[in-house]
Amino acid sequence: MNARPPKKPRDPVDGVLLLDKPVGLSSNDALLKAKRVLNAKKAGHTGTLDPFATGLLPLCFGEATKFSQDLLEADKTYEATVHLGIMTTTGDTEGETIEQREVEVTREQIEAVLARFRGPIFQVPPMYSALKRDGKALYEYAREGIVLEREARPVTIHGLSLVDYAAPFLKILVTCSKGTYVRVLGEDIGAALGCGAHLNALRRVQVGALSTDRMISLEDLQAHPDPLSLLAPVDALLSSFPSVELTPELAKRFLNGQRLALGKETVQVPGELGRVRVYHEGKLLGTANLQEYAILAPERLVAAQQ
């Protein structure tokens, strides 16, 4: 009996891949496929997209996984198509139709309703979601025909605009805070218009400061002769933070986890307190918290220099 050939050892890959997730694939499956192509040791994604959704899925490899939480907290922008007049069990195309109504809605009525959803609002999480109750995902209860009470949660709709309306399809652009369910937003808009709705299509086009500019499909990634060249550097996740450039001695102390008093050093200090990205000779050392009196407190450090 022939023994199996030994598995190829994984490589220490560091960076960020902006993947265009295809419809029908879970975020985790997309991550595993990309990880296999890059032969990467360590990988993680920055918040799931539903299988029926497409678009920007930032994947973090190696040292970048230390900063993936920042994107989980970031605002996100979506292009969504709302199908008015039809309600489904899941609020999207994956569910069964539960009710149909006539659609007699004008563009003016839509604009008036959208205005009501801008800013801070409350949303009731859907039953078909990964939120857990007593250690069990809500979608598992839903599949058993069980509907549980869910408490409304605060979210913020930073931007909500009408892109196109050709009844019964309503296209919108949404920028929202973390924890927002665009499916629920679509359903709530339909309810406010009196005809009900479900989400027909959803595409994510921005996560924090990351956009679709360098996004690549899974097929193009798999066919690329040098897929590692498609990775953005680790600090692509941190572009919204001010930067601090340290001297060689300060960089050494910073990487040892020491707090630094920058007030008397020849280092340019940002004008505002808060999180900063820290460099030496253009290489990312990690992130830190810039505190009062120009105290730099290390936060997350990069082990392998980028």
Position 259 pLDDT exceeds 60: yes
Q: Quick one: pLDDT at residue 141?
A: 85
What does the pLDDT average to over 244-270? 91
User: What's the one-letter identity of residue 23?
Assistant: V
Q: Quick one: pLDDT at residue 197?
A: 97
Position 4 pLDDT exceeds 70: no
Reported as type and span, the H/E element at residue 275 is strand 274-280
Q: Which residue has the tokens 């102390």?
A: 253
Q: Quick one: pLDDT at residue 300?
A: 92
Q: Which residue has the tokens 């920055």?
A: 46
- Higher-confidence residue of 67 and 77: namely 77
Q: What residues are labeled active site? A: 50
CA distance 234 to 118: 33
Q: Confidence class of residue 5 from pLDDT cuts 50, 70 and 90?
A: low
Please, how many CA atoms are within 13 Å of residue 170, restricted to the half-sphere of its CB? Answer: 32
Position 122 pLDDT exceeds 80: yes
Contacts of 158 (CB under 8 A, 6+ apart): 75, 175, 176, 177
Between the two ends of the chain, the Cα-to-Cα distance in Å is 45
For the chain, what percent of residues have pLDDT higher than 70?
A: 97
CA distance 207 to 239: 12
Tokens representing 40 are 């990467």
CA distance 224 to 263: 48
Instruction: Check whether the bond before 168 is cis (ω within 30° of 0).
Output: yes
Length of the chain: 306
Q: pLDDT for 211-231, tens place per residue? A: 998 899 999 999 999 999 999
**Lowest pLDDT segment from 4-8, 13-17, 82-86:** 4-8
What does the pLDDT average to over 92-114? 95
What does the pLDDT average to over 258-278? 89
Q: Confidence class of residue 96 from pLDDT cuts 50, 70 and 90?
A: very high
Q: Confidence class of residue 271 from pLDDT cuts 50, 70 and 90?
A: confident
Position 306 pLDDT exceeds 90: no
- Between the alpha carbon of residue 134 and those of residues 124, 131, 137, the distances in Å are 18, 10, 8
The per-residue pLDDT of the chain, averaged, comes to: 91
- Are 199 and 80 contacting, i.e. CB atoms less than 8 angstroms apart? yes
What does the pLDDT average to over 168-189? 96
Q: Quick one: pLDDT at residue 68?
A: 85
Q: Quick one: pLDDT at residue 253?
A: 94
Q: Confidence class of residue 3 from pLDDT cuts 50, 70 and 90?
A: low
CA distance 265 to 259: 13
What does the pLDDT average to over 182-190? 97
CA distance 177 to 208: 10
Q: Quick one: pLDDT at residue 80?
A: 98
Q: pLDDT for 59-69, tens place per residue? A: 999 999 998 88
Position 116 pLDDT exceeds 50: yes
4-12 LR contacts (CB < 8 Å, sep 24+): 8/39, 10/39, 10/40, 10/41, 11/38, 11/39, 11/40, 11/41, 12/41, 12/42, 12/62, 12/304
Q: Quick one: pLDDT at residue 139?
A: 78
Q: How many CB atoms lie within 10 A of CB 93?
A: 16
- Between the alpha carbon of residue 29 and those of residues 5, 207, 281, the distances in Å are 25, 20, 37
List the beta strands (DSSP E) in 53-189.
54-61, 76-84, 86-88, 97-100, 119-123, 132-133, 136-137, 153-166, 169-176
Q: Confidence class of residue 239 from pLDDT cuts 50, 70 and 90?
A: confident
Reported as type and span, the H/E element at residue 235 is none
Cα angle 49, 172, 143; round to 5: 40
Q: Quick one: pLDDT at residue 2?
A: 59
- Higher-confidence residue of 220 and 2: namely 220
